[in-house]
């Protein structure tokens, strides 16, 4: 069977040649454009060309050359800027996993740019909406009017970007941010740049990050994505962006000007300030959803190859909870992911990736495997082996929780740190032992196979959940604005309103909340591992109790800089300076109370407030609420004389006996006195109620 169309196979001034199977996507040169696309099960594929405005299809070109499972053709005389798409012909047999429908225009999986926006329509579906046969039915409406067009992009003239800062993980302070949420309400950023890549790299933002001591921004998804149909119907958007369809292009909605240069310039400006760029990437699923979702790209090109299928092939494995799961056990799907990652490093200069629901990336046929093909491919790749790799170590599939199970060099989001620190400062009984484990980098989870302490990515708040302000202001989530009757989002947040639900003018409550936030932030910065803070936490941003603001592209999520808590921001900067100034807080090696050679003292010594080591039973005694720890460089690590004595007290005020292991101590931090300047400490020292104190050896300078 051959394709039938009343469109010409080629346009005047253009001619065809066989082309080549590599690289995939559209690749222009001086004489034309090479097109290559993967499909193992298609009968044939057409390249579709469109007018400059994308409204009219002008030609359909049969891609006659096939090299293995890659279809390719070269169009002589074509230039960059051409709009195009694909139509794939093959069996429409959903029960066998095949959903080919040439009436549906398909995005190039390797597209470097899109033109136009997705227009939700029933014509996007490969089946007939409302049919008694459901997704087994077949729809013949042309979807081209509703689909963005892929754009031929010439990347040859792009100048190489200089290397990024290359900050060691042990010295990193990560700042999780949303491009729009961080900048949309910033009064100094010009209106036309707010919510854009250019706004994020504005000097006002960079100056704020530098003052905080941030070394890397971790951006919520910026790869091309679409808004879900059910959200659009409710007047909402997919604000977070976990609905990727364009793995090679920056999301256009964040660009103030056409093209890809704005994203590259943002990366360059942040690098100039010593700040790395880490991308939150979503390779566990795509925006096509389940069998009732649209046919936009992967489903129409080769559903049986791109997705992990179930029920004989009609249904989709749904380990992400969003309808489908990409099939990384297929070599060409794995190749696409690897090509995408390399592209962001080589063409955009990004410094690392945080993998959403990363367990899916390591799930083989037999289940999660730390030696999965994806992990092997990453570790041997000469480009990707040198960037920062961070895993969200869970999904909703079988055996989905895998914290500590990822291979070197991954760091992993540590939700045990999040929950343990929240519960300790909420005053939950018996949490002292848990705090101790988290302060030492959760060694029981990560200290294996040569992994460093920095593998523990410590956080207390992130985009998913309460902000820090809401953590101390609400006991229950308030997600009604999401339109799901408050059913969405976590119900157990280990939060505490400290006497009043929501915002209040009560000075006593607000003071208690401010102290609780300082205690939490201090704990985060003093723990072994890699700290991450949520954008806006440092200035008191609230989402009004919404702990799942994925659809709130509005003032719920946009940080209100006019109400910024400057004192809290200064305190965060102080904490960052203390951390950066003390090697003992930035170690790669785990601490296991082993004796150091130069002085014979253990690298970690636990103490009670009276200076004595706690008895074994006391670690789980609800009355043991003041944990003290003396930290030195790890016994097996580099030699240094740095020493820290930290106190974490959720109990009442009490006397403190400082260790006699150094001649004299200096107090450099007291969360009850955030403006404290370093001062000598000695006999008669007390620990205030609900406080964190930090001491250093006075003989070594004692100042951050």
Strand partners, 692: 648
Q: Is the Cβ–Cβ distance between 313 and 96 less than 8 Å?
A: yes
Output b/e per residue, 88-115; b: 16+ Cβ within 10 A: bbbebbbeebbbbbbbbbbbbbbbbbbb
Q: Is the Cβ–Cβ distance between 176 and 467 less than 8 Å?
A: no
Q: Is 392 an annotated catalytic residue?
A: yes
Q: Is the Cβ–Cβ distance between 456 and 448 less than 8 Å?
A: no
Nearest CA to 79 out of 151, 165, 173 is that of: 151
Tell me how far apart the alpha carbons of residues 399 and 405 are, in angstroms, rounded to a whole number: 11
Q: Is the Cβ–Cβ distance between 85 and 50 less than 8 Å?
A: yes
* Residue from 115, 262, 276, 356 carrying the catalytic annotation: 356
* Residue from 46, 251, 392, 603 carrying the catalytic annotation: 392
Q: Is the Cβ–Cβ distance between 656 and 685 less than 8 Å?
A: yes
DSSP 8-state class, residue 686: E
Tell me how far apart the alpha carbons of residues 543 and 551 are, in angstroms, rounded to a whole number: 12
Chain length of the chain = 704
Tell me how far apart the alpha carbons of residues 387 and 332 are, in angstroms, rounded to a whole number: 23
Tell me how far apart the alpha carbons of residues 90 and 390 are, in angstroms, rounded to a whole number: 39
| CA–centroid distance for 498 within its chain | 31
Ramachandran quadrant class, 486 (left: phi over 0; alpha: psi -120 to 50; beta: rest): left
- Tokens standing for residue 284: 């566990």
Q: Is the Cβ–Cβ distance between 453 and 590 less than 8 Å?
A: yes
Q: What angle do CA 114, 115, 120 make, to 5 degrees?
A: 90
Tell me how far apart the alpha carbons of residues 246 and 124 are, in angstroms, rounded to a whole number: 17
| CA–centroid distance for 384 within its chain | 17
Q: Is the Cβ–Cβ distance between 70 and 23 less than 8 Å?
A: no
Angle between helices 432-439 and 507-526 (to 10 degrees): 50
Q: Is 501 an annotated catalytic residue?
A: no
| CA–centroid distance for 555 within its chain | 22
Q: How far, CA to CA in Å, does 322 sit from each of 221, 396, 531?
A: 15, 10, 29
- Tokens standing for residue 60: 């359909």
Radius of gyration of the chain (CA): 28
Q: What are phi and psi of 451, to 5 degrees?
A: -75, 145
Under DSSP, is residue 418 helix (H, G, I), strand (E, B) or coil?
helix
Under DSSP, is residue 283 helix (H, G, I), strand (E, B) or coil?
coil
Q: Which residues are catalytic?
A: 356, 392
């Amino acid at each position: 069977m051959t394709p039938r169309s009343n469109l010409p196979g080629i346009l005047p001034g253009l001619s065809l040649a066989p082309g080549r199977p590599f690289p995939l996507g559209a690749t222009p040169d001086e004489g034309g454009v090479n097109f290559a696309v993967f499909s193992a099960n298609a009968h044939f594929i057409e390249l579709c060309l469109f007018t400059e405005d994308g409204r009219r299809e002008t030609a359909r070109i049969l891609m006659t050359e096939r090299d293995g499972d890659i279809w390719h053709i070269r169009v002589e005389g074509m230039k960059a800027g051409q709009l195009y798409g694909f139509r794939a012909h093959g069996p429409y047999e959903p029960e066998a996993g095949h959903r080919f429908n040439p009436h549906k225009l398909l995005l190039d999986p390797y597209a470097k740019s899109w033109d136009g926006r997705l227009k939700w329509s029933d014509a996007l579906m490969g089946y007939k909406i409302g049919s008694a046969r459901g997704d087994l039915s077949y729809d013949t409406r042309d979807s081209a009017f509703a689909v963005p067009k892929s754009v031929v992009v010439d990347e040859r003239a792009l100048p190489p970007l200089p290397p990024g800062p290359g900050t060691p993980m042990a010295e990193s302070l990560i700042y999780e941010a949303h491009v729009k949420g961080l900048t949309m309400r910033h009064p100094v950023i010009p209106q036309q740049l707010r919510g854009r890549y250019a706004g994020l790299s504005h000097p006002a933002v960079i100056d704020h990050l530098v003052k905080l001591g941030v070394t890397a921004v971790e951006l919520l998804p910026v790869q091309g994505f679409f808004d879900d149909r059910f959200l659009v119907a409710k007047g909402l958007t997919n604000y977070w962006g976990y609905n990727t369809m364009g793995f090679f292009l920056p999301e256009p909605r964040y660009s103030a000007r056409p093209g890809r240069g704005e994203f590259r310039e943002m990366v360059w400006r942040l690098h100039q300030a010593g700040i790395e760029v880490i991308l939150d990437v979503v390779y566990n699923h795509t925006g096509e959803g389940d069998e009732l979702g649209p046919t936009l790209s992967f489903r129409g090109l080769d559903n049986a190859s791109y997705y992990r299928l179930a029920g004989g092939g009609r249904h989709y494995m749904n380990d992400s909870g969003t309808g489908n799961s990409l099939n990384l056990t297929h070599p060409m799907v794995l190749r696409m992911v690897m090509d995408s990652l390399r592209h962001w490093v080589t063409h955009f200069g990004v410094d690392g990736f945080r993998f959403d629901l990363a367990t899916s990336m390591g799930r083989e046929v037999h289940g999660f495997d730390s030696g999965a093909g994806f992990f092997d491919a990453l570790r041997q790749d000469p480009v990707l082996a040198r960037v920062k790799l961070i895993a969200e170590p869970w999904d909703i599939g079988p055996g989905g929780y895998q914290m500590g199970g990822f291979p070197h060099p991954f760091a992993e989001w540590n939700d045990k740190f999040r929950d343990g620190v929240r519960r300790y400062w909420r005053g939950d009984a018996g949490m002292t032992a848990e705090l101790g484990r988290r302060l030492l980098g959760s060694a029981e989870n990560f200290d294996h196979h040569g992994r460093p302490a920095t593998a523990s990515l410590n956080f207390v708040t992130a985009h998913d959940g309460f902000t820090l302000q809401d953590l101390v202001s609400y006991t229950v989530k308030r997600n009604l604005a999401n339109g799901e009757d408050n059913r969405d989002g976590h119900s157990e947040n280990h939060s505490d309103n400290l006497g009043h639900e929501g915002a209040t003018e009560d000075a006593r409550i607000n003071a208690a909340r401010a102290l609780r936030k300082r205690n939490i932030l201090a704990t985060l910065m003093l723990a072994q591992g890699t700290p991450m803070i949520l954008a806006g936490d440092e200035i008191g941003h609230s989402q009004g109790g919404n702990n799942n603001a994925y659809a709130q592209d509005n003032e719920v999520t946009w940080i209100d800089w006019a109400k910024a808590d400057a004192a809290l921001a200064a305190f965060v900067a102080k904490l960052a300076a203390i951390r950066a100034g003390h090697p003992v807080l930035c170690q790669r090696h785990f601490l296991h109370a082993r004796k150091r050679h130069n002085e014979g003292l253990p690298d970690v010594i636990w103490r009670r407030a009276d200076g004595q080591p706690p008895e074994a039973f006391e670690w789980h005694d609800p009355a043991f609420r003041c944990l003290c720890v003396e930290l030195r460089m790890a016994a097996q690590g580099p030699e240094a004389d740095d020493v820290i004595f930290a106190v974490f007290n959720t109990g009442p005020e009490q006397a403190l006996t400082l260790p006699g292991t150094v001649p004299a101590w200096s107090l450099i931090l007291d969360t009850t006195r955030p403006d404290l300047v370093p001062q000598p400490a000695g006999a008669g020292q007390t620990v205030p109620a609900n406080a964190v104190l930090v001491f250093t050896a006075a003989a070594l300078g004692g100042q951050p």
